[in-house]
Amino acid sequence: MADRQVTQQTVLSHIAKLDDPDADLRYMSLNDLYTILTGPSSSFLSGDNRCSNKLSEGLLKALDDQHGDVQNQALKWYATIASVKHSRIDGLLMTILVSVLSLFDFPSSRLSPSLKN
C-alpha cells in the first residue's frame, strides 16, 4: 500500500510540473511519467479516477504546447495508451481522449485545434 501511495504522489508531482513555464521541465515530467506509468507499479491508475483525470488533462494540454519536443512526448503517450497491452486508463477516459484528439489537425508542424466538418 505504501508503494502505491509513493507512486501516486510521484505521478501527481510530475503532473503538476506540466504547468511549469520551463519547457525542459514539462518535457522531463512527461518522460518521467511515461517511464513510471508504463511499468508495473502503475496498475493503481485504472482504479484512481482523480489521478487518471489529472493525467489526461495534462496530456491534452501538452499536445497544444508551444514547444515541439513537449508535443512529441505527449504524442508518444497517446500511442502508448492506445495500446491495449499498456493501457492504464479505462475505456471511458480513452474514449474522451480519442474524441478530443480528433479535434486536432496535423498538417503543420504545430498542432492547432480546429473543428472538423
pLDDT digits (tens, 9 = 90+) for 58-76: 888 888 889 999 988 888 8
pLDDT bucket at 30, cuts 50 / 70 / 90: very high
- pLDDT higher for 56 or 111? 56
Q: Range with the lowest mean pLDDT among 18-32, 44-58, 60-74, 94-108?
A: 94-108
Q: Which residue pairs, CB below 8 angstroms and at least 24 apart, start in 94-100? A: 96/56, 97/56, 97/59, 97/60, 100/60
- Which grid cell sits at 24? 525542459
- Residue 7's beta-bridge partner residues? none
Q: What is the pTM (predicted TM-score) of this model?
A: 0.69
- The pLDDT value recorded for residue 21 is 95
Residue 97: per-residue pLDDT: 65
> Does the structure show a pLDDT above 80 at 23?
yes
> Confidence class of residue 4 from pLDDT cuts 50, 70 and 90?
confident
- Which sequence spans correspond to the domains of the chain? 2-113
Helices (H), the chain: 2-16, 23-37, 49-63, 68-82, 91-101
Q: What is the rounded CA–CA span in Å between residue 105 and residue 24?
A: 25
